[in-house]
Amino acid sequence: MVTVLRPAWAIAVLIWSTVANATEPVRQIGIYVQPYYEAARIPGAKPQVAVGKQYDDLLSSNRREDILAARDLVLAKPALVTPMTMMVLAIRLYDMGLRDDAVFWFYVAKERYIVMSQVLNVKAQGLAQADGAVRSFATLAGPTINGYAFCDLGKQKEQHAKAVQWVETNPYEVMFMASAPALPGDRADNAKRAIAAAKERAAKERAYFDDAKTREAYYVTRKQNEADVKFCWK
Over residues 160-170, the mean pLDDT reads 98
Q: What is the pLDDT of residues 189-224, one digit of tens each?
A: 999 999 999 999 999 999 999 999 999 999 999 999
- In this prediction, residue 44 carries a pLDDT of 84
Burial of 60 (0-12, 13-18, 19+ CB in 10 A): buried
Tell me phi and psi for residue 93, to 5 degrees.
-65, -40
**Number of residues that make up the chain:** 234
Does position 1 have pLDDT exceeding 80, yes or no?
no
- In this prediction, residue 126 carries a pLDDT of 87
Over residues 4-25, the mean pLDDT reads 52
**d(Cα 89, Cα 84) in Å, to the nearest integer?**
9
Does position 5 have pLDDT exceeding 50, yes or no?
no
Nearest to residue 141, comparing CAs of 10, 228, 19? 19
Q: What mean pLDDT, rounded, does the chain reach?
A: 91
Q: What is the pLDDT of residues 35-83, one digit of tens each?
A: 999 999 888 899 999 999 999 999 999 999 999 999 999 999 999 999 9
Residue 23's pLDDT band (cuts 50, 70, 90): confident
pTM for the predicted model, two decimal places? 0.91
Long-range contacts of 13-21 (CB under 8 A, 24+ apart): 13/140, 14/140, 15/39, 15/41, 18/143, 18/144, 19/143, 19/144, 19/147, 19/230
**Per-domain residue ranges of the chain:** 2-222
Over residues 126-138, the mean pLDDT reads 94
Does position 144 have pLDDT exceeding 60, yes or no?
yes
